[in-house]
């Protein structure tokens, strides 16, 4: 692998992703199989002025063994020392980098109830930390690098070494890194472009959007008053610094009215959820709530996540991505939501980002809920719905009808 491009990637994540400031602590969550890149991120963060860099190593094997063999009681609470650590770092303004790379089927066969209880415990015990992240109280960035099990899932026809090399090539394309290019400048231009699209959508002030396509989606989505469409970078409310939460990112997103979703929504891509690949997802909504669901594979995994709490039965995100986006046009199914959601229009069930309401980052959870979005859930799960023939028609609050998407792409 090209060392120059790897260093360019690490510095991009540190300098644009979380935009490290002098004296700021940094925490990196990284799989042990990606240790060389994790070390590069550490060095880049120190070089950018971080006062301390903490790495939390993860391992698919250890995660699976724990889920299969640990005492049942450990899935009902997060250790107090871990809660204290994360809350302390959040109060100190930590920049969080998460390296997302795992075997898409690592938890196949694990008792879904253990995963459900673990998610509930994390949502409850780490609520303060998650709230800081969801409301832009800390800068954070999710990125990815290949590991063998993932590379072979994406390119099963290739030998492992070739699959790894091919996945590296595709990841570099998605994050706009070339051997002789200026990735930082490329990202500035890209963010400016999609942020302009977000401003235009906000100005339309849609009251409702209607989704239809040939695979069965027929969905009406009401939007709350004072909703905001976002894209590219966010502003950390504690230090005023811009950061980019996902690399890659192609989406323009907002939050729907919690009780304003009705109809049928059919997923267009598989979803990797709790270490299982869920295919053929279909939801039915009434007054915002998921009242029926189906999946061709691993339906129990999907059902466990949707039934995690009351808020997980409602949508928390609506995101627009043109079918002719760079990732979609690659023709690759990544089996990793970070990439697949940026190849397709998508929704998320679970908690909404408060920033999708004007002034939302400064509101309490109760005030966010009063504004009409899904303010309380222990999960946020993106799933893809975009197709080549997707049509989205919008109705504005002043009565205009606007074609937002036609043939899978923006029409405005």
Q: Are residues 167 and 283 located together in one domain of the fold?
A: no
Q: What is the CATH number of the domain that holds 150?
A: 3.40.1830.10
**How many domains would you assign to the chain?**
2
C-alpha torsion angle, residues 89, 91, 96, 101 (rounded to 10)? 60
Mean pLDDT of the chain: 96
Q: What is the pLDDT of residue 297?
A: 97
Task: For residues 302-327, give the mean pLDDT.
Answer: 96
Q: What is the pLDDT of residue 77?
A: 97
Q: Is 280 left (phi over 0), alpha (psi -120 to 50) or beta?
A: left
Q: Are residues 234 and 363 located together in one domain of the fold?
A: yes
Q: Are residues 61 and 114 located together in one domain of the fold?
A: yes
Looking at 153-157, 344-348, 375-379, 400-404, which range is the least confident one?
Answer: 375-379
Q: What is the pLDDT of residue 250?
A: 96
In a domain, 188, yes or no: no
Interval 88-117: pLDDT, tens: 999 999 999 999 999 999 999 999 999 999
pLDDT band at 145 (very low <50, low <70, confident <90, very high): very high
Inter-residue contact 356 to 253 (CB < 8 Å): yes
Q: What is the pLDDT of residue 46?
A: 99
CA atoms within 13 A on the CB side of 169: 10
Task: For residues 146-172, give the mean pLDDT.
Answer: 97
In a domain, 194, yes or no: no
Q: Are residues 309 and 165 located together in one domain of the fold?
A: no
Indicate whether 286 pLDDT > 90: yes
pLDDT band at 154 (very low <50, low <70, confident <90, very high): very high
Q: Are residues 135 and 30 located together in one domain of the fold?
A: yes
Q: What is the pLDDT of residue 180?
A: 87
Indicate whether 1 pLDDT > 80: no
Q: Are residues 9 and 114 located together in one domain of the fold?
A: yes
Q: Are residues 59 and 129 located together in one domain of the fold?
A: yes
Q: Are residues 294 and 160 located together in one domain of the fold?
A: no
Q: What is the pLDDT of residue 303?
A: 96
pLDDT band at 276 (very low <50, low <70, confident <90, very high): very high
Q: What is the pLDDT of residue 221?
A: 99
Task: For residues 154-183, give the mean pLDDT.
Answer: 95
Task: For residues 248-259, give the mean pLDDT.
Answer: 98
Domain that holds residue 302: 204-242+249-410
Question: Do strands 230-231 and 252-254 pair parallel, antiparallel, or not at all (unpaired)?
Answer: antiparallel
pLDDT band at 236 (very low <50, low <70, confident <90, very high): very high
Write down how long the chain is.
Answer: 412
Q: Is 52 left (phi over 0), alpha (psi -120 to 50) or beta?
A: beta
Q: Are residues 224 and 362 located together in one domain of the fold?
A: yes
pTM: 0.92
Looking at 13-17, 253-257, 274-278, 286-290, which range is the least confident one?
Answer: 274-278
DSSP 33-76: GGHHHHHHHHHHHHHTT-SEEEEEEE-HHHHHHHHHHS-GGGGG
DSSP 214-249: TTS-EEEEE--TTB--EES-EE-TTT--EE-SBSS-
> Which tokens belong to 216?
């069965």
Query: Cβ contacts of residue 293 below 8 Å, gap of 6+?
Result: 281, 282, 283, 284, 299, 302, 303, 306
Q: Are residues 164 and 257 located together in one domain of the fold?
A: no
In a domain, 195, yes or no: no
> Which tokens belong to 364?
């309490």
Task: For residues 368-394, give the mean pLDDT.
Answer: 96
In a domain, 103, yes or no: yes
Q: What is the pLDDT of residue 181?
A: 84
Q: Are residues 368 and 222 located together in one domain of the fold?
A: yes
Q: What is the pLDDT of residue 48?
A: 98
Q: Are residues 125 and 267 located together in one domain of the fold?
A: no
């Amino acid at each position: 692998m090209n060392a120059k491009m790897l260093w360019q990637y690490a510095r991009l994540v540190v300098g644009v992703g979380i935009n490290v400031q002098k004296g700021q602590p940094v925490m990196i969550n990284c799989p042990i199989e990606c240790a060389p890149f994790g070390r590069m991120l550490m060095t880049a963060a120190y070089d950018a002025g971080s006062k301390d860099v903490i790495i939390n190593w993860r391992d698919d094997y250890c995660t699976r063994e724990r889920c299969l063999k640990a005492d049942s009681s450990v899935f009902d609470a997060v250790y107090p020392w871990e809660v204290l650590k994360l809350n302390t770092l959040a109060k100190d303004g930590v920049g969080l980098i998460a390296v997302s790379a795992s075997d898409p089927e690592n938890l196949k066969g694990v008792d879904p109830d253990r995963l459900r209880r673990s998610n509930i415990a994390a949502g409850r015990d780490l609520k303060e930390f998650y709230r800081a992240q969801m409301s832009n109280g800390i800068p954070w960035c999710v990125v990815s690098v290949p590991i063998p099990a993932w590379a072979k899932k994406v390119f099963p026809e290739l030998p492992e070494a070739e699959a790894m090399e091919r996945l590296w090539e595709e990841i570099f394309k998605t994050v706009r890194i070339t051997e002789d290019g200026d990735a930082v400048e490329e990202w500035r231009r890209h963010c400016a472009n999609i942020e302009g699209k977000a401003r235009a959508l906000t100005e339309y002030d849609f009251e409702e959007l209607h989704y239809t396509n040939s695979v069965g989606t027929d969905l009406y989505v009401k939007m709350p008053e004072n909703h905001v469409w976002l894209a590219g970078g966010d502003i950390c409310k504690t230090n005023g610094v811009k950061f980019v939460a996902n690399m890659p990112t192609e989406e323009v997103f907002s939050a729907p009215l919690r009780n304003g979703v009705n109809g049928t929504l059919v997923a267009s891509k598989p979803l990797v959820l709790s270490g299982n690949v869920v295919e053929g997802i279909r939801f039915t909504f009434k007054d915002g709530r998921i009242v029926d669901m189906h999946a061709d594979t691993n339906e129990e995994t999907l059902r466990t996540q949707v039934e995690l709490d009351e808020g997980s039965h409602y949508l928390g995100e609506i995101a627009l991505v043109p079918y002719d986006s760079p990732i979609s046009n690659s023709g690759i199914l990544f089996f990793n939501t970070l990439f697949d959601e940026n190849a397709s229009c998508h929704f998320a069930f679970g908690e909404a980002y408060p920033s999708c309401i004007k002034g939302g980052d400064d509101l309490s959870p109760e005030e966010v809920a009063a504004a009409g979005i899904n303010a309380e859930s222990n999960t946020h799960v993106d799933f893809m719905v975009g197709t080549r023939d997707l049509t989205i028609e919008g109705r504005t609050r002043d009565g205009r009808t606007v074609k937002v998407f036609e043939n899978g792409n923006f029409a405005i």
